[in-house]
Amino acid sequence: MLLFLFLLPLSSFFRKDNNFINENGPVTILPTRPFWYGMNVGDSFDIVLPNKKEYNELMGGSPDDEVNGPLTATISLIRVGSLKKGSRTLTYTVNGTKRVVNMEDAEDDGDASTVMADPNNDCEIASPLPGTVEEINCDENATLKKGDCMMIVVAMKMEVKVTAPFDLRIDSFAVEKGSKVEEGSLVATVTKL
């Protein structure tokens, strides 16, 4: 029974004529966790590439470049940009070399446009990642201590707390429960205490 349920479909997945592998490359070298669950910002993993040609392609060199040392690459996700017209910009490093790519994303952005927080104004609190505001934990004019949770933003089933960066009073919220936000979207205006 195991052969029928698992091994036969799996063997057809890894065939040379499989469109998924032809379109996405040698995904069989990816570790299980990033393959099935993806990565969060700050995550890293190591892969061992099967040959020098694929290593040089990943590193941005010529397929004929000489490789000294192991065919191992460390990939780290640095930033996931906001969803715009069906695609996102991903920033990552490969063995410390920065790479930026645009990727299609099936998540519906609803052509949302949000007000962005001024990164030079500490009193404008920004969303740490693109997603949906799931919960607002305080009211306007509330006083919060540094580290208190103001709200929760959810992205790809991951909950991230937006916390007070210093002692503050909430002047106003720029979002409400269910609002779509981008990384850097203004979520609240505050006054330092």
pLDDT for residue 14: 53
Residue where one domain finishes, among candidates 83, 109, 135: 109
Residue where one domain finishes, among candidates 54, 82, 109: 109
Alpha helices in the chain (DSSP H): 2, 8-13, 19-24, 32-37, 52-59
138 and 78, same domain (yes or no): no
128 and 101, same domain (yes or no): no
Q: What confidence tier does 102 reach under pLDDT thresholds 50, 70, 90?
A: confident
Is residue 50, in this structure, part of any structural domain at all? yes
29-to-40, 45, 54, 148, 168 alpha-carbon distances in Å: 19, 11, 11, 42, 48
CATH of the domain at 68: 3.10.600.10
pLDDT at 94 over 70: yes
Q: How far apart are CA 29 and CA 33, in angstroms?
A: 12
Location of structure tokens 């996405």: 24
pTM as predicted:
0.47
Is residue 45, in this structure, part of any structural domain at all? yes
44 and 85, same domain (yes or no): yes
What domain range includes position 139?
Answer: 124-192
CATH of the domain at 147: 2.40.50.100
How many domains does the chain fold into?
2
pLDDT in tens, 24-51: 677 777 888 887 777 777 889 898 877 7
pLDDT in tens, 125-147: 999 888 899 999 999 999 999 99
pLDDT in tens, 153-176: 998 778 889 999 999 999 999 999
Residue where one domain finishes, among candidates 56, 83, 109: 109
pLDDT at 58 over 70: no
The lowest-confidence range among 3-12, 92-101, 183-192 is 3-12
Please state the φ and ψ torsions of residue 24, each to the nearest 5 degrees: -110, -5
188 and 130, same domain (yes or no): yes
Is residue 78, in this structure, part of any structural domain at all? yes
pLDDT for residue 108: 56
